[in-house]
Structure 1
Amino acid sequence: MASQAGSTWGPRISPEALFAAGAVSQYLGAATAVELFDDLGPATVALLRVAGAGAVLVLLRRSWRRSWSRTDLGWTAAFGISLALMNLFFYLAIARLPLGNSVAIEFIGPIAVAALGTRSVRSGWALALAVVGVVILAGFSPPAAQVGALFSLIAGTLWAGYIVLGHRVARSGTAVDGLGVGMLIGAVMIVPAGIGDVSTAFTAPVLLAGGVAAGVLSNVIPYGIDQLVMQRLPRARFALLQALLPVTATFIGLVWLGQVPNLREAAGIVAVIAAIVINRESEQPPVDLGP
């Protein structure tokens, strides 16, 4: 999928513009999910997102045609479960916390992976600054927002696991097939959390379509774009572009959901963005756009 996209889009669209398009798609999907929470609940929307995106990828790729070793399936399952739980806790977070705040808090995961992986002074300062941003965003918030911040931290921890496991899957050669199959396995694991309102979704086609659309916008499109971008940009440049993600999430939250950050929240988000920029030269593994 990425190679076909590369032959069509690559010569005409810069990788930076493609990354920005993927980021917008990612958080439009999140905003779409927020609009469904009143009818279906965050856990059910997460289940529909993961299952829907997994089904779309498996059907597009015809993943059942490839041979799967037990090792491949094991790593794919671990990867998919991490991804599904990450999505679940991300949705539980943004049900209680503005979108931009939640995304900024989550970045503690990828930055920690980079800091632990390189153990450089630069990455250490980046991690410290990210922690300051998280404290600003979470430490002085109302109780409901603090619960949302806790869920964001859990999602960020799972994002760190997703980075490590995702690279293991990519190196095994399963790549996009591993993503699709992994998401279906992960969807099974979060069924107990999200099953409650599934019957409502299946009796309301608009709600069901919204859940699947959230999966396509947040998983299928950004992942495909991300693979293309990583083919054309050095790792450090790709890591620097990650700073666009909290900005994009905050903008989408403002325009679509009417979530206006106050000065304290803006300061926390800026601290996390600065941490991402400082961290740009580390050996952070290229990752996709996260939750």
Structure 2
Amino acid sequence: MTKPPAPALMLGSVLSIQFGQALGKQLAGAVGAPGAVALRLGLAAVLLLLLYRPSLPRSRTDLLLVLGFGTAIAGMNLIYPALLFLPLGLASALQLLGPVTLALLTSRRLRDGGCAALAGCGVWLFHAPGGSGVPLAGVLLALAAGASMAAYLVLSGKAGSRSAGGGPLALAVTWAAVLTVPLGIADRGAELLAPRVLVTGIAVAVLSAVLPYSLELAALRRLPTRTVGVLTSLEPASAGLAGVLVLDEHLNVVQWAALACVGAASAGAVVRREKGDSGPRLLAEAGPSRNGRR
């Protein structure tokens, strides 16, 4: 049987994440952001544990890495309360600024300074005259999710270097669930067990965690890391598309331009010369970079 092209796998991962996140926004509207995060991470943890059957950490270093990894995953889920204030495309673009900033801070090249300026232009366009204003609370939550995403990238790279396969991810998502599920239960209690809510939660967990991880894992075996990073930069645009199709969120021309700026800055931050570039590649080399996030 012919294998699907690796870029198609990555594109499928990007689309799966954002459409899963669109469903997650609907779920947050029904059971609140803490409830949506509890269902997403709790169900994703169960599915990943069944899929990978990881062994427990064997050393204190491995344990601390899993705990840090999982805490970063929990922090990335601040995107869900942000989505209560922001359209999906804008929230995704703001979150992507975290790893873009990480990649730019670890490089001293002039071109990367231009990428930083382009990303800053995108942020400015969110508030530019003629563009619709956005609530500050939503912006801050999305940026906090982006900072957690940057930490996740660093820690996922370290986890990947110490252990092959999805075991560390499954354990990290389980720890993230331990941190977040009690908050959802305290907020909504038995409402989270309603059959319709559980079905939606499973769909969110599969689309935004389990499926994209599997697609990325297959793609990363066959694609250069810089190609993965460039395809990842399509996330703001795919988030805008998911917002239109699933949530009936329509962005104006200025806001689409803002998404384009952030996506272009992300692509520029991860594209490296094939030879002679000694700068780090954190955004692209961190491995499957959205496995437990959002």
TM-score of the aligned structures, taking structure 2 as reference length: 0.88
Q: Secondary structure at the match of 1:55?
A: helix
Measured in 2, the distance between the counterparts of 1:275 and 1:180 equals 31
1:201 is aligned to 192
Instruction: Give the total of aligned pairs.
Output: 279
Aligned to 1:151: 141
Name the structure where helix makes up a greater proportion of residues: 1
Counting aligned pairs with the same residue, the percent is: 30
Q: Secondary structure at the match of 1:260?
A: coil
Deviation at 1:144, TM superposition (A): 5.9
Q: Which one-letter code corresponds to 1:284 in the other structure?
A: R
Letter in 1 for 2:265: A
Q: Which residue of 1 aligns with 2:119?
A: 130
Alpha-carbon distance in structure 2 between the residues aligned to 1:222 and 1:119: 32
Q: Which moved more, 1:31-40 or 1:73-82?
A: 31-40
Structure 1: distance between partners of 2:199 and 2:254:
37
Secondary structure in 2 matching 1:232: coil
Please list every run of 5 or more consecutive structure 1 residues that lacks an aligned counterpart in the other structure: 1-7
Aligned to 1:5: none
1:120-269 alignment, distance < 5 Å:
120-138=109-127, 145-173=135-163, 175-195=165-185, 196-202=187-193, 204-269=194-259
Q: Determine the C-alpha separation between the residues in 2 that align with 1:273 and 1:142.
A: 20
Q: 1:138 to 1:51 in 2, by over 3 A?
A: farther
CA distance in 1, matches of 2:236, 2:132: 21
CA distance in 1: counterparts of 2:258 and 2:190, whole angstroms:
39
Q: What is the CA RMSD across the aligned residues, in angstroms?
A: 2.0
Q: 1:139 to 1:52 in 2, by over 3 A?
A: farther
**Residue 41 (structure 2) aligns with:** 50
Counterpart position of 2:281: 284
Is 2:126–2:133's contact at 8 Å kept on the other side of the alignment? no
Q: How does 1:53-68 map to 2 (within 5 A)?
A: 53-64=44-55, 68=58
TM-score if structure 1 supplies the norm length?
Answer: 0.89
1:30-82 CA-partner distances (Å, limit 9, x unpaired)? 11111212321011101111111111111122224x66322212101110111
Give unmatched runs, 5+ long, in structure 2: 273-279
The alpha-carbon deviation at position 119 of structure 1 amounts to 2.1
Segments of 4+ moved more than 3 angstroms? 138-144
In the other structure, the counterpart of 2:66 is 76
Seen in structure 2, the aligned counterparts of structure 1 residues 255 and 153 have a Cα distance that, compared at 3 Å, is same
Are 1:107 and 2:96 an aligned pair? Answer: yes
Q: Distance in 1 between matches of 2:152 and 2:145?
A: 10
Partners of 1:192 and 1:218 in 2: how far apart? 21
Q: Which string of whole-angstrom CA distances, capped at 9 and with x for unpartnered residues, describes residues 214-234 of structure 1?
A: 111101111121122121111
Aligned-partner Cα distance in 1 for 2:124–2:165: 36
Is the aligned partner of 1:13 residue 2:4? yes
Which digits, 9 at most, give the CA deviation of each residue in 1:181-234, with x for residues without a partner? 1111111122453221142111x1110221132111101111121122121111
1:243 deviates by 2.1
